[in-house]
Structure 1
Amino acid sequence: MDVLVVGAGDVGRWFADLADAPVAFADVDESRAEAAAAAHDGRARAVPLDTEESFGVVAVAVPMGAAVAAVEAHAASAEQAVVDFTGEMVAPLTAMAEHAPARERVSFHPLFAPEHAPGRVAVSESAPGPATGHVREWLEAAGNDLVDVGASEHDDAMVTIQGRAHAAVLAFALAAEDVPDELATPVYEDLAALADRVTGGNARVYADIQAAFGGADDVAAAARRLADADREAFEEVYEDAGR
């Protein structure tokens, strides 16, 4: 069973590394697909984005905003299964059902950046089967823990887990000023470390998350509630935050 990885970025390369099968990369940037293939020690090759070849599994690993279009464009190349590693689940699975109704269909979301692998991987199975079972086995063999979840439940949770969390950390980073290290408190050090981790990533990824799940408006409203509260109201807000 061979695999077409659509998207030769970090996530696509991460999945190709753990796939126990021949891999082909396709990417809007052909040179990136070629570089990804070359990095896999002869176990992978690059194919044109409009390839007419067929593959056992088509794995979509593109930014969230491009996921549906990528499924639409490449689902027909799948002989057995279409899967995605985009971070959103409802939209890609809906596109898979429309464009690959007779194929196995599963959405995977690594809950970590590839450089922090292994970790937890959320899994939503729309139409599982033997081929997607192999994908699960590859992920587990690489040390990942699989967490089965409904697609809507996943996307709803990501509003808080990613959208609001990232917005809160970025808001702190924007509001913070330089301070002497020797005056730092544990809470400040934890927030500063989170800010360094988030701002050391890829801005496009975080922009995609905000576009898909939102969160910044909710954080802004909460901050405004804090800012507008007098002492008595602040205590109520504080208690609400602890619930």
Structure 2
Amino acid sequence: MDLLVVGAGDMGRWFGRTVDADLAFTDVDLDAAERAADERGGRVVPFDGDERFDLVCLAVPMGLAEEAVAENAHRAKDGMCDVTGAMGDPVAAMRDHLPDRERFSLHPLFAPQNAPGNVAVVDDTAGPLADAVRTDLADAGNHVFETTPEEHDAAMETVQAAAHAAILAFGLAADDVRDEFATPISAALDQLVTSVSSGTPRVYTDIQSHFGSGTDRVADAARALAMADDETFADLYRAVASVGAVSLDDATDADT
């Protein structure tokens, strides 16, 4: 398989090292593409080139996914996939621009340095390229599971946007206290704050931009807890404890 990875960041390099293919990289920053190619044993091609490949994988920021599909569809002989982190927009764009070729979307649910892990996949059209990529991902120790664009993007509102917002909000709200005062819960939250804040702002900004209703729900829930009297607070606590994570509406319904 001839593979072109568009985007030479962490996720593009992860995909390049995980999939067994004759590998080429391109990026708006050709120096980054050179470093990725040297690291992964591939070659560099022009960012706006016309050379065609069996498979083109888009490893670009979420907000650029639709544009990248349009600009690179002509380079994909047999198929295209993405690892952008969103699924609805790139899958829809691939349907428009590659109606007669393989289309699939992948979301590794981990930072590349934490691989292997869970990888969500939408096989919009089945075919040998998608099968080969899925096999390579599984052989590398990843758990590959099927989803739909709608299910995936709705889940990201909770597992990414809401989770990150809650962690960052704690980091913003917490005072600097002596380590001796740490509890198991506060220490775990401190570790999560460190983990999230060690990334790059753009990644988390993109997540909030695409899946921000999860953040809104965190803000609403925090406000409800802050304004609750003792009885209401206890009711909200019991609603969460009884069934795990619930929406504020569900908790309110349970109270009544």
TM-score, normalised via structure 1 length: 0.97
Distance 1:180 1:50 in 2: 54
Could you say which residue in structure 1 is the equivalent of 2:35?
35
Structure 1 stretch displaced more, 6-15 or 182-191? 182-191
Structure 1 stretch displaced more, 65-74 or 176-185? 176-185
Instruction: Give 1:66 deviation, angstroms.
Output: 0.8
Could you say which residue in structure 1 is the equivalent of 2:183?
185
Matches within 5 A, 1:58-97: 58-97=56-95
* Deviation digits for residues 168-222 of structure 1 (CA, Å, limit 9, x no counterpart): 0000000011112122111111111111100111111000000010122211111
Return the letter of the residue paired with 1:104: E
Could you say which residue in structure 2 is the equivalent of 1:217?
216
Return the letter of the residue paired with 2:174: A
Could you say which residue in structure 1 is the equivalent of 2:116?
118
Distance 1:19 1:158 in 2: 25
Structure 2 residue matching 1:87: 3-state secondary structure? coil
Distance 2:75 2:99 in 1: 13
Matches within 5 A, 1:91-170: 91-170=89-168
Structure 2 residue matching 1:127: 3-state secondary structure? coil
Return the letter of the residue paired with 1:191: L
Distance 1:32 1:171 in 2: 33
Instruction: Give 1:239 deviation, angstroms.
Output: 2.0
Return the letter of the residue paired with 2:209: A
Instruction: Give 1:134 deviation, angstroms.
Output: 0.8
Native 8 Å contact 2:107 2:120 kept in 1 = yes
Return the letter of the residue paired with 1:121: V
Instruction: Give 1:61 deviation, angstroms.
Output: 0.6
Mark the runs of 5 or more structure 2 residues left unpaired by the alignment. Answer: 244-256
Native 8 Å contact 2:157 2:215 kept in 1 = no
Residue 4 (structure 1) aligned with residue 4 (structure 2): yes
RMSD: 1.0
Distance 2:234 2:138 in 1: 46
Structure 1 residue matching 2:124: 3-state secondary structure? strand
Identity %: 51
Instruction: Give 1:232 deviation, angstroms.
Output: 1.4
Instruction: Give 1:18 deviation, angstroms.
Output: 1.4
Distance 1:20 1:219 in 2: 41
Would you identify which runs of 4 or more consecutive aligned residues in structure 1 move more than 4 Å?
none
Instruction: Give 1:140 deviation, angstroms.
Output: 1.1
Distance 1:134 1:76 in 2: 22
Instruction: Give 1:240 deviation, angstroms.
Output: 2.7
Distance 2:94 2:143 in 1: 24
Instruction: Give 1:110 deviation, angstroms.
Output: 0.1
Distance 2:95 2:164 in 1: 31
Return the letter of the residue paired with 2:98: A
Could you say which residue in structure 1 is the equivalent of 2:48?
50
Instruction: Give 1:123 deviation, angstroms.
Output: 0.6
Could you say which residue in structure 2 is the equivalent of 1:228?
227
Structure 1 residue matching 2:16: 3-state secondary structure? helix
Instruction: Give 1:241 deviation, angstroms.
Output: 2.6
Distance 1:25 1:229 in 2: 54
Equivalences, count: 241
Could you say which residue in structure 1 is the equivalent of 2:203?
205
Structure 2 residue matching 1:96: 3-state secondary structure? helix
